[in-house]
Amino acid sequence: MTYDRLVCANCAAPVNEGRCRVCRAVRQQMERERDQGPFSGLNPAMLIALMVLLVAALALLA
């Protein structure tokens, strides 16, 4: 996800300009999320549910 055109709700300037504290916080958060990879958006409960489904499917196949 890109934040090039994201406008800050606090200062109404583009977030990537980092004009206010909120902009910088949002920018930092997005950089963190990007660094963590595609699975960072999934919550742990979702991951566990997926794991259980996978194991069930393997058990059925075996």
Give the residue with the Cβ less far from Zn ion, 28 or 40: 28
Nearest distance from C-beta of residue 8 to Zn ion, angstroms: 3
β-bridge mates for residue 14, sequence order = 7
Where along the sequence are the contacts to Zn ion (CB under 5 A)?
8, 10-11, 20, 22-23
In the complex, residue closest to Zn ion by CB: 8
- Tell me which residue of 27, 30, 25 sits closest to 41, measured CA to CA: 30
Of the two residues 17 and 33, which places its CB atom closer to Zn ion in the complex? Answer: 17
Query: Alpha-carbon distance 50 to 58, whole Å?
Result: 12
